[in-house]
Structure 1
Amino acid sequence: MKTNIIITGHGNYGTGVESSIRLLAGHNEGVEFIDFLEEDTDVTLKDKVINALANNKADQNLFVCDILGGTPFKVCVELSYEKENMEVVAGCNIGAILEGILLKDSMEIAELADSVVNSTKDTAVRFTKINSGNSADNNDSSMDDGI
Protein backbone atom coordinates (compact mmCIF):
# COMPACT_ATOMS: atom_id res chain seq x y z
CA MET A 1 0.00 0.00 0.00
CA LYS A 2 1.50 3.33 -1.07
CA THR A 3 1.59 5.95 1.66
CA ASN A 4 2.30 9.66 1.43
CA ILE A 5 3.50 11.62 4.46
CA ILE A 6 2.99 15.38 4.61
CA ILE A 7 4.97 17.20 7.28
CA THR A 8 3.83 20.73 8.07
CA GLY A 9 4.10 23.34 10.77
CA HIS A 10 4.63 26.96 11.69
CA GLY A 11 7.46 28.92 10.13
CA ASN A 12 10.05 26.72 8.45
CA TYR A 13 9.12 23.63 10.43
CA GLY A 14 8.42 21.55 7.33
CA THR A 15 11.64 22.39 5.50
CA GLY A 16 13.58 22.26 8.78
CA VAL A 17 12.43 18.68 9.34
CA GLU A 18 13.25 17.98 5.69
CA SER A 19 16.82 19.13 6.27
CA SER A 20 17.22 16.80 9.24
CA ILE A 21 15.57 13.82 7.52
CA ARG A 22 17.71 14.22 4.40
CA LEU A 23 20.87 14.38 6.53
CA LEU A 24 19.87 11.19 8.35
CA ALA A 25 18.28 9.15 5.55
CA GLY A 26 18.66 10.91 2.22
CA HIS A 27 15.74 11.67 -0.09
CA ASN A 28 12.57 9.63 0.42
CA GLU A 29 9.77 9.33 -2.14
CA GLY A 30 6.26 10.03 -0.95
CA VAL A 31 7.20 12.62 1.66
CA GLU A 32 6.24 16.30 1.37
CA PHE A 33 7.41 19.16 3.59
CA ILE A 34 5.20 22.24 3.80
CA ASP A 35 5.93 25.46 5.67
CA PHE A 36 3.23 27.69 7.15
CA LEU A 37 4.89 31.07 6.73
CA GLU A 38 4.02 34.49 8.14
CA GLU A 39 2.43 35.58 4.88
CA ASP A 40 0.26 32.44 4.71
CA THR A 41 -3.33 32.10 5.85
CA ASP A 42 -5.29 28.96 6.59
CA VAL A 43 -6.58 29.18 3.00
CA THR A 44 -3.12 29.40 1.40
CA LEU A 45 -1.85 26.59 3.62
CA LYS A 46 -4.82 24.43 2.66
CA ASP A 47 -4.01 25.11 -1.03
CA LYS A 48 -0.39 24.01 -0.46
CA VAL A 49 -1.53 20.79 1.21
CA ILE A 50 -4.13 20.07 -1.51
CA ASN A 51 -1.42 20.55 -4.17
CA ALA A 52 0.88 18.14 -2.31
CA LEU A 53 -1.93 15.57 -2.17
CA ALA A 54 -2.58 15.99 -5.90
CA ASN A 55 1.12 15.51 -6.71
CA ASN A 56 1.30 12.21 -4.84
CA LYS A 57 -1.55 9.88 -5.60
CA ALA A 58 -1.26 7.55 -2.63
CA ASP A 59 -3.60 4.99 -1.14
CA GLN A 60 -3.23 6.60 2.27
CA ASN A 61 -1.87 9.84 3.73
CA LEU A 62 -0.36 10.73 7.09
CA PHE A 63 -0.18 14.38 8.13
CA VAL A 64 2.52 15.17 10.69
CA CYS A 65 2.01 18.60 12.30
CA ASP A 66 4.18 20.54 14.70
CA ILE A 67 1.62 21.64 17.32
CA LEU A 68 -1.68 20.16 18.42
CA GLY A 69 -4.44 22.69 17.70
CA GLY A 70 -2.38 25.05 15.54
CA THR A 71 -3.45 26.18 12.08
CA PRO A 72 -1.49 23.45 10.24
CA PHE A 73 -3.13 20.85 12.49
CA LYS A 74 -6.61 22.31 11.96
CA VAL A 75 -6.15 22.43 8.17
CA CYS A 76 -4.97 18.82 8.05
CA VAL A 77 -7.79 17.63 10.30
CA GLU A 78 -10.30 19.39 8.02
CA LEU A 79 -8.81 17.71 4.95
CA SER A 80 -8.73 14.32 6.66
CA TYR A 81 -12.52 14.39 6.89
CA GLU A 82 -12.80 14.68 3.12
CA LYS A 83 -11.24 11.31 2.29
CA GLU A 84 -10.77 7.91 3.86
CA ASN A 85 -7.31 6.64 4.78
CA MET A 86 -5.99 9.92 6.16
CA GLU A 87 -4.60 10.35 9.67
CA VAL A 88 -3.23 13.39 11.52
CA VAL A 89 -0.62 13.39 14.29
CA ALA A 90 1.07 16.29 16.08
CA GLY A 91 4.02 16.97 18.35
CA CYS A 92 6.18 14.08 17.15
CA ASN A 93 9.97 14.11 17.29
CA ILE A 94 12.44 13.69 14.42
CA GLY A 95 13.34 10.11 15.36
CA ALA A 96 9.69 9.05 15.31
CA ILE A 97 9.05 10.90 12.04
CA LEU A 98 12.07 9.21 10.45
CA GLU A 99 10.90 5.81 11.65
CA GLY A 100 7.46 6.53 10.18
CA ILE A 101 8.98 7.50 6.85
CA LEU A 102 10.99 4.28 6.71
CA LEU A 103 7.97 2.14 7.65
CA LYS A 104 5.29 4.08 5.76
CA ASP A 105 4.57 1.59 2.99
CA SER A 106 4.45 -1.44 5.29
CA MET A 107 1.53 -0.47 7.56
CA GLU A 108 -2.09 0.53 7.44
CA ILE A 109 -2.46 4.27 8.01
CA ALA A 110 -3.97 4.06 11.53
CA GLU A 111 -1.20 1.68 12.60
CA LEU A 112 1.43 4.04 11.15
CA ALA A 113 -0.08 7.04 12.98
CA ASP A 114 -0.09 5.09 16.26
CA SER A 115 3.49 3.95 15.65
CA VAL A 116 4.78 7.51 15.14
CA VAL A 117 3.02 8.78 18.27
CA ASN A 118 4.12 5.81 20.40
CA SER A 119 7.70 6.10 19.17
CA THR A 120 7.72 9.75 20.23
CA LYS A 121 6.43 8.80 23.67
CA ASP A 122 8.99 6.00 24.00
CA THR A 123 11.97 8.16 23.03
CA ALA A 124 11.20 11.39 24.88
CA VAL A 125 13.33 11.26 28.03
CA ARG A 126 14.97 13.46 30.58
CA PHE A 127 18.61 12.78 31.35
CA THR A 128 19.15 12.78 35.09
CA LYS A 129 22.60 13.57 36.40
CA ILE A 130 23.88 11.58 39.33
CA ASN A 131 25.92 13.68 41.71
CA SER A 132 28.53 11.35 43.08
CA GLY A 133 30.51 13.99 44.90
CA ASN A 134 33.86 15.43 43.89
CA SER A 135 34.72 14.26 40.38
CA ALA A 136 38.46 14.33 41.18
CA ASP A 137 37.89 11.64 43.79
CA ASN A 138 35.67 9.59 41.53
CA ASN A 139 37.57 6.58 40.21
CA ASP A 140 34.56 5.09 38.44
CA SER A 141 35.67 4.39 34.89
CA SER A 142 32.34 3.00 33.67
CA MET A 143 31.82 6.01 31.39
CA ASP A 144 35.28 5.87 29.79
CA ASP A 145 33.92 4.36 26.57
CA GLY A 146 30.83 6.56 26.31
CA ILE A 147 27.59 4.63 26.28
Structure 2
Amino acid sequence: MIGIVVSGHIHFASGMETAVRAIAGEQEQMLFIDFVEGMSTQELEQSLRQAVKDVDSGDGVLILTDIPGGSPANRALEIMMDTPNVELIGGANLPMIANAAFERDDAELTELVDTLLDIGMSCMKDMRRELNSIMEQPTELECEDGL
Protein backbone atom coordinates (compact mmCIF):
# COMPACT_ATOMS: atom_id res chain seq x y z
CA MET A 1 0.00 0.00 0.00
CA ILE A 2 1.27 3.47 -0.88
CA GLY A 3 1.98 5.54 2.21
CA ILE A 4 0.59 9.06 2.39
CA VAL A 5 1.81 12.11 4.32
CA VAL A 6 -0.27 15.29 4.36
CA SER A 7 1.23 18.57 5.49
CA GLY A 8 0.33 22.22 5.49
CA HIS A 9 0.29 25.50 7.34
CA ILE A 10 -1.23 25.85 10.81
CA HIS A 11 -4.01 23.21 11.08
CA PHE A 12 -4.45 22.30 7.41
CA ALA A 13 -3.20 18.74 7.93
CA SER A 14 -5.09 18.03 11.15
CA GLY A 15 -8.26 19.50 9.61
CA MET A 16 -7.83 17.23 6.61
CA GLU A 17 -7.25 14.29 8.95
CA THR A 18 -10.62 14.87 10.61
CA ALA A 19 -12.38 15.22 7.26
CA VAL A 20 -10.69 12.14 5.74
CA ARG A 21 -11.58 10.08 8.80
CA ALA A 22 -15.23 11.14 8.42
CA ILE A 23 -15.24 10.28 4.70
CA ALA A 24 -12.97 7.23 4.47
CA GLY A 25 -12.63 5.98 8.03
CA GLU A 26 -9.45 5.42 9.98
CA GLN A 27 -6.46 5.04 7.65
CA GLU A 28 -3.29 2.99 8.02
CA GLN A 29 -0.04 4.35 6.61
CA MET A 30 -1.42 7.89 6.44
CA LEU A 31 -0.01 10.65 8.62
CA PHE A 32 -0.84 14.34 8.94
CA ILE A 33 1.84 16.90 9.86
CA ASP A 34 0.91 20.50 10.70
CA PHE A 35 3.44 23.31 10.26
CA VAL A 36 2.45 25.38 13.28
CA GLU A 37 3.54 28.74 14.57
CA GLY A 38 6.87 28.56 16.38
CA MET A 39 8.00 25.45 14.49
CA SER A 40 11.17 25.88 12.44
CA THR A 41 11.43 24.60 8.90
CA GLN A 42 14.15 22.22 10.12
CA GLU A 43 11.73 20.78 12.70
CA LEU A 44 9.08 20.47 10.00
CA GLU A 45 11.49 18.61 7.72
CA GLN A 46 12.47 16.25 10.54
CA SER A 47 8.79 15.51 11.22
CA LEU A 48 8.12 14.94 7.53
CA ARG A 49 11.14 12.64 7.14
CA GLN A 50 10.03 10.58 10.12
CA ALA A 51 6.47 10.42 8.78
CA VAL A 52 7.74 9.23 5.38
CA LYS A 53 9.69 6.45 7.10
CA ASP A 54 6.70 5.51 9.27
CA VAL A 55 4.23 5.13 6.36
CA ASP A 56 6.59 3.48 3.85
CA SER A 57 5.94 -0.23 3.40
CA GLY A 58 7.98 -0.45 0.20
CA ASP A 59 5.28 0.65 -2.27
CA GLY A 60 6.29 4.31 -2.14
CA VAL A 61 5.12 7.42 -0.36
CA LEU A 62 3.06 10.33 -1.64
CA ILE A 63 3.34 13.66 0.16
CA LEU A 64 0.43 16.07 -0.28
CA THR A 65 0.89 19.69 0.78
CA ASP A 66 -1.30 22.77 0.86
CA ILE A 67 0.58 25.50 -1.05
CA PRO A 68 3.11 24.84 -3.82
CA GLY A 69 6.22 26.80 -2.86
CA GLY A 70 5.23 27.06 0.81
CA SER A 71 7.44 25.73 3.59
CA PRO A 72 5.75 22.30 3.83
CA ALA A 73 6.06 21.82 0.04
CA ASN A 74 9.65 23.08 0.01
CA ARG A 75 10.69 20.76 2.85
CA ALA A 76 8.88 17.85 1.19
CA LEU A 77 10.67 18.66 -2.06
CA GLU A 78 14.00 18.23 -0.25
CA ILE A 79 12.83 14.80 0.90
CA MET A 80 11.58 13.83 -2.56
CA MET A 81 14.94 14.79 -4.10
CA ASP A 82 17.00 12.56 -1.81
CA THR A 83 14.59 9.73 -0.99
CA PRO A 84 13.73 7.06 -3.56
CA ASN A 85 10.10 6.27 -4.38
CA VAL A 86 8.66 9.49 -2.93
CA GLU A 87 6.39 11.82 -4.90
CA LEU A 88 4.94 15.22 -4.00
CA ILE A 89 1.79 17.11 -4.95
CA GLY A 90 1.55 20.74 -3.88
CA GLY A 91 -1.84 22.44 -3.74
CA ALA A 92 -3.79 19.40 -2.55
CA ASN A 93 -7.46 19.69 -1.70
CA LEU A 94 -9.88 17.51 0.28
CA PRO A 95 -11.19 15.52 -2.71
CA MET A 96 -7.60 14.62 -3.62
CA ILE A 97 -6.65 13.63 -0.10
CA ALA A 98 -9.81 11.60 0.55
CA ASN A 99 -9.51 9.83 -2.80
CA ALA A 100 -5.87 9.05 -2.09
CA ALA A 101 -7.13 6.85 0.74
CA PHE A 102 -9.44 4.97 -1.65
CA GLU A 103 -7.19 4.77 -4.71
CA ARG A 104 -3.79 3.86 -3.24
CA ASP A 105 -4.27 0.10 -2.81
CA ASP A 106 -4.42 -0.84 -6.48
CA ALA A 107 -2.17 1.81 -8.03
CA GLU A 108 1.46 2.47 -8.71
CA LEU A 109 2.80 5.67 -7.17
CA THR A 110 2.97 7.61 -10.46
CA GLU A 111 -0.53 6.40 -11.42
CA LEU A 112 -1.85 7.64 -8.08
CA VAL A 113 -0.30 11.05 -8.69
CA ASP A 114 -2.00 11.29 -12.11
CA THR A 115 -5.35 10.14 -10.72
CA LEU A 116 -5.27 12.63 -7.86
CA LEU A 117 -4.30 15.52 -10.12
CA ASP A 118 -7.29 14.71 -12.35
CA ILE A 119 -9.60 14.54 -9.32
CA GLY A 120 -8.28 17.76 -7.86
CA MET A 121 -8.77 19.71 -11.07
CA SER A 122 -12.21 18.25 -11.82
CA CYS A 123 -13.53 19.07 -8.35
CA MET A 124 -12.93 22.82 -8.67
CA LYS A 125 -16.14 24.44 -9.92
CA ASP A 126 -17.40 27.94 -10.45
CA MET A 127 -20.71 27.35 -8.72
CA ARG A 128 -22.36 30.44 -10.25
CA ARG A 129 -21.52 29.10 -13.71
CA GLU A 130 -22.75 25.61 -12.74
CA LEU A 131 -26.05 27.02 -11.46
CA ASN A 132 -26.52 29.20 -14.53
CA SER A 133 -25.89 26.20 -16.77
CA ILE A 134 -28.56 24.19 -14.97
CA MET A 135 -31.04 27.07 -15.04
CA GLU A 136 -30.54 27.61 -18.78
CA GLN A 137 -31.44 24.04 -19.68
CA PRO A 138 -34.93 23.87 -21.21
CA THR A 139 -37.50 21.94 -19.27
CA GLU A 140 -40.39 20.19 -20.91
CA LEU A 141 -43.71 20.16 -19.15
CA GLU A 142 -45.75 17.02 -19.44
CA CYS A 143 -49.51 17.37 -19.63
CA GLU A 144 -51.60 14.23 -19.69
CA ASP A 145 -54.75 16.08 -20.68
CA GLY A 146 -53.09 17.79 -23.65
CA LEU A 147 -53.46 21.24 -22.10
User: What is the TM-score of this pair, normalised by structure 2?
Assistant: 0.84
Deviation at 1:13, TM superposition (A): 0.7
The gaps in structure 1 that reach 5 residues or longer are: 133-139, 143-147
Q: Does residue 90 of the first structure (1) align with residue 80 of the second (2)?
A: no
Runs of 4+ in 1 over 4 A off after TM superposition: none
After superposition, give the CA deviation of every residue in 1:92-126 in whole Å (9 maximum; x if it has no partner): 22112111111112111111111111111111111
Distance 1:126 1:103 in 2: 26
> Percent identical across equivalent pairs?
25
Moved more, 97-106 or 51-60: 51-60
Aligned to 2:65: 65
CA RMSD for the aligned pairs?
2.0
Deviation at 1:72, TM superposition (A): 0.3
Distance 2:29 2:140 in 1: 47
Q: How does 1:1-147 map to 2 (within 5 A)?
A: 2-59=1-58, 60-127=60-127, 128=129, 129-130=131-132
Moved more, 9-18 or 113-122: 113-122
Deviation at 1:56, TM superposition (A): 2.6
Count the aligned residue pairs.
Answer: 134
User: What is the TM-score of this pair, normalised by structure 1?
Assistant: 0.84
